[in-house]
Amino acid sequence: NAKPFEGSRRWAGARPELRAIGYDSNGVAAHMGLLRRFIKVGEVDLLVAELGLYGVRPDLEGLGVSHSLRVMYPVLQQLRVPFGFGAVRHALQKHVERFGRHLPANVLSGVRVRSTLPDAYLDLPRTRTEDVLVVVLPIGSAMSDWPTATLIDRNGP
């Protein structure tokens, strides 16, 4: 159910601060990237560890491999960030809700996320706003400290 990169784009060109890569005898089984950044949640500037670049090899989908990526949680604690943050398409709702069985993950709907587009065009806006599911992992703060908002700006303060 992954949304593939198009053209010459690939996740290997992204520059996460940390990567978790799981291997098996057939190569890369799953991967996830992490990047500390400031986002703006409503009117509040907030330091988060954004989780992304997430993928599981198609032949392993549904086998629980994603739960092995729980190794990222202790890393998030070591980074001393208040929250882990991610945004996923609605088609992945059941998948990310399964993380809540093993991690304190909260899936929020009704939140739009604004991001800078990867390419600049004179005839198009510089940003896009998407209706996605927001995944929040309380790390150094309680979930009650997450600001209530309907818009998150990934571009930060």
DSSP 22-33: EEETTEEEEEEE
Question: Can you name the residues that pair with 86 across neighbouring β-strands?
Answer: 135
pLDDT in tens, 114-151: 988 777 778 888 888 999 999 999 999 999 999 999 99
115 compared with 8, residue with greater pLDDT = 115
> pLDDT grade, residue 152 (50/70/90)?
very high
Nearest to 100 by CA among 62, 67, 145, 127: 67
pLDDT in tens, 9-51: 555 555 778 888 888 899 988 878 888 999 999 999 999 999 8
> Residue 144, SS3?
helix
In the chain the domains, ranked by start, together with CATH numbers, are 11-153 (3.40.630.30)
Strand segments, DSSP code E, in the chain are 18-24, 27-41, 44-56, 83-88, 106-116, 127-138, 151-153
